[in-house]
Amino acid sequence: MAGLAEVIKYGAILSPDLFAILEEQLDRLLGLEPALLTSIIKTCCQLKAQVVEADEQEADYRAILNFGHTLGHAVESATGYGRFLHGEAVAIGMAFAAKLSLQRGVCRATTRDRLVRLIKRAGLPVDIPPDIAEQHLRAAIEADKKVSAGSVKFVCLEQLGKTRFELLSATDIVRHVSQ
Ligand SMILES: [Zn+2]
């Protein structure tokens, strides 16, 4: 289930088709049906290869693979790496990134809702635990090695299969936690 978070990520950032397959076939996938599982893993590998290839033309394009990871890493760090599996933290991070995108006018509510619904159906968490203080999240984001000159290339969701980078400070990001 934790691994499925990264599979959902590939659909969300790169492929509306993969996303729709996940919506339709989730139950079979959770049942670990071998043929389906193999085909989905193959699709994810192909999508990743495309990103790495495109990265040679467009500098740092592969940063789109960080979708859900800015906040996800902060949640892992703020909880001492013992409470959530990586994929669970990424699931929380993706739901947050979709919420931030909606609140900043980057995506529509339907896009956010479809992503959150699929993450939940996969048995993964979507909410930031309320006991994590915002200042811990902010400090963890600031400590991330990907922060440069005080800002992060935050991966926002525009539509399913389409992302947009927004340069945001840790404060800008954390503002959306309680919004
Ligand atoms: Zn990851």
Average pLDDT for runs of 10 along the chain of length 179: 96 98 97 96 96 86 95 96 97 98 98 98 97 95 81 96 96 94
Distance 72 CA to ligand 1 centre (A): 8
pLDDT value of residue 77: 95
Q: Which residues contact 162 (CB under 8 A, 6 or more apart)?
A: 13
Q: Are 137 and 177 a contacting pair, CB within 8 Å?
A: yes
Coarse DSSP helix, strand, coil percentages of the chain, rounded to the nearest 5 percent: 65, 10, 25
Does the domain made of 2-174 have the CATH classification 3.40.190.10? no
pLDDT value of residue 60: 85
Distance 171 CA to ligand 1 centre (A): 23
Say how far apart CA 88 and CA 145 lie, in whole Å. Answer: 21
Distance 67 CA to ligand 1 centre (A): 9
The two structure tokens encoding residue 157: 């969701």
Distance 71 CA to ligand 1 centre (A): 11
Question: What is the pTM (predicted TM-score) of this model?
Answer: 0.96
